[in-house]
Amino acid sequence: MSQYDVIVVGAGFSGAVMAERFASQQNKKVLVIEQRPHIAGNCYDYTDDSGITVHHYGPHLFHTNKENVWQYLSQFTQWTPYEHKVLGSIDGKLVPIPFNLNTLYQLYPDGQAQEIEALLVKHYGAGGKVPILELRKSKFVALQQLAELVYQKFFVNYTTKQWGCSPEDISPEVTARVPIVVSRDDRYFHDKYQAIPSQGYTQLIGNILKHDNIEVRLNIDATTLLRLNCKTNKVIFEEHEFAGKLVFTGMLDQLFEYTEGELPYRSLQFDFQTIDKKEFQPSTTVNYPNEHAYTRITEFKHILQQQSDKTVIVKEYPQDYDRHDPQKNIPYYPIFNAENQQRIDVYKKRIEGFVNVISAGRLANYKYYNMDDAVENALCLSCQVMKSREGLM
Ligand code: UDP
Atom of ligand 1 nearest to the CA of 370: 24
43, 129, 174: residue to mutate for ligand 1 pocket, most atoms within 8 A of CB: 174
Percentage of the chain with pLDDT > 70? 98
Atom of ligand 1 nearest to the CA of 162: 15
Record: fold of 6-39+209-264+335-392: Rossmann fold (3.40.50)
Domain range summary for the chain, segments of one domain joined by +:
6-39+209-264+335-392, 86-181, 267-320
Distance CA 359, CA 357 (A): 7
pLDDT in tens, 184-229: 999 999 999 999 999 999 999 999 999 999 999 999 999 999 999 9
The whole-number pLDDT of residue 388 equals 84
Q: List, run by run, the mean pLDDT of 10-residue segments along the chain (393 residues).
A: 93 98 97 98 97 98 98 98 98 97 98 98 98 97 97 98 94 96 98 98 98 98 94 95 97 94 96 98 98 98 97 98 97 90 95 96 96 98 85 53
Does this model's pTM top 0.85? My answer is yes
Torsion sign, CA atoms 260, 261, 266, 269: positive
85, 87, 153, 178: residue to mutate for ligand 1 pocket, most atoms within 8 A of CB: 178
The whole-number pLDDT of residue 2 equals 82
The whole-number pLDDT of residue 243 equals 94
CA of 36 to the centre of ligand 1 (A): 27
CB 245 within 8 A of CB 358: yes
175 lines ligand 1 (CB under 6 A): yes
The whole-number pLDDT of residue 387 equals 87
Phi/psi at 261 (5° precision):
100, 165
Among 385, 367, 378, 393, CA closest to 19: 378
Residue type, 165: C
CA of 296 to the centre of ligand 1 (A): 10
Strand-pairing partners, residue 359, are 248
Q: Taking the CB of residue 115, how many other CB atoms lie within 10 A of it?
A: 12
Ligand 1 atom 10 nearest Cα: 159
Atom of ligand 1 nearest to the CA of 316: 25
The whole-number pLDDT of residue 364 equals 97
